[in-house]
Amino acid sequence: QAKASGRGTFKFFSPEHNEKMLQRMQLEQALRRAIEHQELSLDYQPQIDSATGSINGLEALLRWQHPQLGLLLPGLFITIAEETGLIIPLGEWVLRTACRQARAWQRAGYHRLRIAVNISPRQFQQRGLIPMIDAILQETGCDPRGLELELTETTLMDSPKEATALLKALKRRGISLAIDDFGTGYSSLSHLKHFPIDRLKIDRSFVNDLTRSREDSAIVEAIIAMAHRLGLEVVAEGVEHPDQHAILSDWGCKTCQGFLYSKAVSTEEATALLATAQYSTGIPSTLTPQTK
Ligand code: C2E
Ligand code: MG
Ligand code: MG
Ligand code: MG
């Protein structure tokens, strides 16, 4: 019995710990292979103009079709990708794929469509981010005005000065910027006012209980009011119920995203939704495309 050695030491050698380590290493190996073997793809979740019911943007969300484990969601592997540095090649692949698709939609006539791409902290802080983005824009021919990068508060607040410089460089290229999961990180409002951002995405935890919790509805209403006073647009995440949509559009939240309208769908399905989907400002009239 490892009685005398103390709990910390004992825990380090516990079978559960070893198994976890093994799982992580296997996942890391598998993730390396996934990039080469084209097991990754992007799905796109519509963002709806809450006043008109039309799609004004699509968020690219990473999907991993693992040969044995099936479909894996980013919650399971993004953290490992961050910790191992695999997020750098992974993130570059995501950007290139999203820009290529954005270009295709721009060619098809969707010039005002916004394609939103998530950027994780380590990715944002990587050296050579701007040249890499320039190269991808050049290579794909994507109009940067159709590209939005989503960053979290934590990413930006880590070193606000460097972040501001990077954001400005991105803005100069015509790329738009959003703060993701707003309200869950720590944002200094004094920094917020200096960041050249376009949009705040209200985290879905606040939207969730919007109609049931006085606190959450107060927070959501205050974020929308503050954003407007700062000249920022608002996107509400995780809208699942028509009542939430009604309140949000009443309060002037320009864009809503959530399962009420659509989950993230394949490129082909997204293309079909762009052509056909028109959501009512109350209950969505079409949750699926009218044509296949
Ligand atoms: P996120 O950027 O906040 O993306 C929104 C997440 O909420 C997505 O989960 C989406 O499927 C989910 N969602 C959307 N509407 C609803 C709703 O009405 N109800 C509920 N319960 N959930 C909803 P997903 O695709 O699993 O992604 C999770 C997170 O992983 C993302 O959160 C983002 O932080 C990260 N992620 C996804 N793709 C990428 C990527 O390409 N690169 C990086 N760095 N991170 C990514
Ligand atoms: Mg996001
Ligand atoms: Mg979010
Ligand atoms: Mg998130």
- Name residues with Cβ closer than 5 Å to ligand 2, which is an ion: 118, 150, 180
CA angle 49/114/133 to nearest 5° reads 160
Averaged over 191-200, what is the pLDDT? Answer: 92
**Per-residue model confidence (pLDDT) at position 232:** 96
| C-alpha dist (Å) from residue 287 to 52, 62, 100, 260, 264 | 16, 22, 26, 8, 12
Averaged over 63-91, what is the pLDDT? Answer: 92
Q: Which pTM was predicted?
A: 0.91
CA-nearest residue for atom 46, ligand 1, is 118
Averaged over 143-151, what is the pLDDT? Answer: 98
> Is the minimum distance from the CB of 99 to ligand 1 under 6 angstroms?
no
Averaged over 45-65, what is the pLDDT? Answer: 96
Helix axes of 214-229 and 242-250: crossing angle, nearest 10 degrees: 40
For ligand 4, the distance from its centroid to the CA atom of residue 10, given in whole angstroms, is: 34
Q: Is 257 helix (H, G, I), strand (E, B) or coil?
A: coil
Q: Residue type for 272, please?
A: A
